[in-house]
Amino acid sequence: MPKSPPPSPANDHAFREHQPGEGQPKIEVSRGNGDELHQNVASGSKSADAAFLTDNFGHPISDNQNSLRAGERGPTLLEDFVLREKIFHFDHERIPERIVHARGSGAHGVFECTKAIPGLTKASILQKEGTTCPVFVRFSTVAGGASSVDTPRDVRGFAVKLYTDSGNWDLVGNNIPVFFIQDAMKFPDLVHSVKMEADRGYPQAASAHDTFWDFIGLMPEAMHMIMWAMSDRTIPRSLRMIEGFGVHTFRFVNEKGEGKFVKFHWKPVLGIQSTTWDEAVKIAGADPDFHRRDLFEAIDAGDFPAWDLGVQVFDEAFAAKQPYDVLDATKLIPEEDVPVEIVGRITLNRNVDNFFAETEQVAFLPSNIIPGIDFSNDPLLQGRLFSYLDTQKSRLGTTNFHQIPINAPKCPFHNFQRDGMMQTLVPTGRANYEPNSLAEAGENGGPRASADKGFKSFAANDERNDPAQKLRIRAALFADHFSQARMFYLSQTENEQAHIASALVFELSKVTLDHVRARVVGQLRNIDEDLAKRVAAGLAIDLPTKEPAARAPVNLKPSDALSIQKNADDTMEGRKVAILFAEGSDKAVIDKLKGDIESAGGTVFLVAPKVGGIKVKGGTLKADGQLAGSPSVLFDAVASILTEDQAEALSKQGSAVQWFMDAYGHCKTIAHDEATQLLLDKAGVEKDGGVVAIDKFESVGTRRHWAREARVRDLA
């Protein structure tokens, strides 16, 4: 065997043209050395020296309006290579959308280690406080297509790519810590059931239909996830206000080769916040891009969203004592049992330059891990390890998808993989195999494996497992489907429990098959009898027979960490407040309120019946949005500063009355002056702690007044 030299700096240049990590390559068209032809086609710049249109092979174009014709009124000529190329390229612009998580929004940012944990892991980015690396995060809904709306009731994907100096680490998680199923074998069935029904092609981006609930009723392991999915977690106010979870149990491995289990968490610095269901439905119509716009605008304005990376670390001895199996992705580890330790922070500070090149082409692989992190034997995770590689080949069409800038690591990479469709690198030299002894002849022999630096799999990934047996079987504790579902339900506030019951009633009301409805309610009886009764009453059906439980549930201690409302901080930070004004409104009052909100970290959006300059008391004011196009569902709280005449005029307009009716119905703060009272009366707004005078706004801020909810809607 030839000697294997460690990779030398020379080896780093084996791929001549690729400079991973050198920022975003702009699509530039250059004719080599002619500066006058060098232009950024992406910029759309109007400056005379920058704008010079060429085709994809650099031929300058003289006319971008007219195709080449035989005579003024004649047919188009086949020789028109300019038209041919333009249309050819256009015809092939789309790539297959993701099978799940097709609708997504992404952004760049940075990870910073805030607490070194070398005792737990040798992961290079967690060795020293202050270590940073670039990240790309893509948030997504699961069920809808790429062009569906942002606010259906759905789980949100939370996929993070960390470009570390020891390779890319992709933590491809969700905003819910558990999953519907325990084994990868059931994933295609789950996804088929939730997507549009096979014959009719609807509903889009919705779980409220027969096939989903049919599958769920027959899969009791999904019941814990169903509690989360029917909670307010699946109707987030903003992507900036969702939690993230790695879901599966992973491994940390330290320098000495010692392993511990770990669960990963992302805790939003802005706190968790959700909308109400009625609000989410209305937002879908008012602004289908609500979450995408919110993320883009916040980053654009310099309000960078951030999440703390938390870890729950535990050992095999702890795992062996729990009433659930830590390899079962339908179970979580209560934070009260294993506290979440914060070790880092991601901050998203740069929007993408090009949605397709970055957000659409980013390819996440749960198999992308770095030395210091390893997999567990979670059967769902194990299935994901090969699924994602397949999917990338199918979407991006080539095994060379790692060369697309958003996917390329930002550390050097070198190996003997060669060729393939769309090879954009130019490997040099003869060494495309190993072992070789070309170095002995003075040639570049290429890289070699490094026993020292290379990734080593943790040897005993499950001490309770006997690898000598081949079995199609699940471990015994996987059969407990209800204990944690009950724990989740009982950990919620009364109002949150009512939201869960109402969501179930809504979803099951859309189900047309009686036996499917009955079976789901029969499953709910295993979680909580009261919940099942509320849902049955909401559906006006008799309480069905309890479905059999494979393993009797046990009572676990409720966990406050599972509730949104119990942990809600009242903060203006990151929240958006609308101020309604009209002709004659007092500018000084508007300016004062705006200043107060902004200095508390919120943003203000001025709404008026007309958007151009409106004459107000003390000057002219331009609105950010017109009343009919800026319904109150788009804001966290509203304020209104009007004259009596304007209030009178607006009280005859549906959009104005609805504005207050919805703000009230969605339990938001309404701050108003005296003139607005007329409109409030028309909208049926009753005085309560959240309906306040303008100068009291600060004390109630963007809080949701949940106590009001029972007065405005019937919850199950």
Active site residue 174: yes
Among 67, 367, 387, 398, the residue binding ligand HDE under the rule CB under 6 A is 387
Peptide bond into 203 cis (omega under 30): yes
Least distance between ligand HDE and beta carbon 392 (Å): 6
Crossing angle of the two packed helices 514-527 and 529-539, in degrees rounded to 10: 150
Q: What is the DSSP string of 262-324?
A: EEEEEEETT---B--HHHHHHHHHH-TTHHHHHHHHHHHTT---EEEEEEEEE-HHHHHHSSS
Site string for ligand HDE, 232-261 (x = CB under 6 A): ---------------x--------------
**CA pair distance 685, 640, nearest whole angstrom:** 13
State the minimum distance, in angstroms, from the CB of residue 379 to ligand HDE.
8
> Is residue 283 within the footprint of ligand HDE (CB under 6 A)?
no
Contact 638/663 with Cβ under 8 angstroms? yes
Q: Which residue has the tokens 């003869």?
A: 430
Q: Binder to ligand HDE among 126, 172, 223, 406 (CB under 6 A)?
A: 172
Between CA 345 and CA 350, with CA 348 as vertex, the angle to 5 degrees is 150
179 belongs to the binding site for ligand HDE (CB under 6 A)? yes
Locus of tokens 């027979």: 545
By CB under 6 A, which span of 214-222, 283-291, 382-390, 434-442 interacts with ligand HDE?
A: 382-390
Q: Is 262 in the site for ligand HDE (CB under 6 A)?
A: no
Contact between 576 and ligand HDE per CB under 6 A: no
The number of beta carbons lying within 10 Å of the beta carbon of residue 350 is 16
- Give whichever of 138 and 282 is closer to ligand HDE, judged by the CB atom: 138
**CB closer to ligand HDE out of 250 and 635:** 250
For the segment 520-559, give every residue that binds ligand HDE (CB under 6 A): none
Contact flag: residue 344 with ligand HDE (CB under 6 A): no
Query: Which is the catalytic residue, given 11, 18, 108, 174?
Result: 174
Quick check: 307 binds ligand HDE (CB under 6 A)?
A: no
Shortest spacing between CB 240 and ligand HDE, in angstroms:
17
714 by Cβ neighbours in 10 Å (0-12 / 13-18 / 19+) ranks as exposed
* Residue 136 vs 660, nearer CB to ligand HDE: 136
Buried b (16+ CB within 10 A) or exposed e, 558-574: bbeebbbbeebeebbeb
Nearest approach in angstroms of CB 477 to ligand HDE is 19
Based on the shown chain and the rule CB under 6 A, indicate whether residue 111 belongs to the binding site for ligand HDE.
Answer: no
The verdict on whether 101 is a catalytic residue reads yes
Window contacting ligand HDE (CB under 6 A); options: 99-107, 452-460, 590-598, 626-634: 99-107
Question: Where in 466-505 is the site for ligand HDE (CB under 6 A)?
Answer: none
214 versus 328: smaller Cβ distance to ligand HDE = 328
> Which region among 93-101, 300-308, 424-432, 490-498 touches ligand HDE (by CB under 6 A)?
93-101
| Contact stretch for ligand HDE (CB under 6 A) within 166-174, 332-340, 412-420, 641-649 | 166-174
Among positions 184-243, residues that touch ligand HDE (CB under 6 A) are 184, 187
DSSP code of residue 634: G
Does residue 391 interact with ligand HDE by CB under 6 A?
yes
User: What tokens does 45 get?
Assistant: 């710049």
The position carrying tokens 């309006």 is 65
Range in contact with ligand HDE (rule: CB under 6 A) among 385-393, 548-556, 566-574, 702-710: 385-393
Classify 93 as helix, strand or coil: coil
Using the rule CB under 6 A, is 701 a contact of ligand HDE?
Answer: no
Question: If binding is defined by CB under 6 A, does position 159 make contact with ligand HDE?
Answer: yes
Q: In sequence order, what are the beta bridge partners of 136?
A: 108, 161
What contacts 280, CB < 8 A, 6 or more positions away?
151, 152, 153, 235
- Give the β-pairing of 637-641 and 670-672: parallel
Query: Look-up: residue for tokens 């508390």?
Result: 600
668 binds ligand HDE (CB under 6 A): no
What is the three-state SS of 540-605?
CCCCCCCCCCCCCCCCCCCCHHHCCHHHCCCCCCCCEEEEEECCCCEHHHHHHHHHHHHHCCCEEE
Where on the chain is the footprint of ligand HDE (CB under 6 A)? Answer: 98-101, 104, 138, 140, 157, 159, 172-174, 179, 184, 187, 247, 329, 362, 364, 380, 383-384, 387-388, 391
Catalytic residues: 101, 174
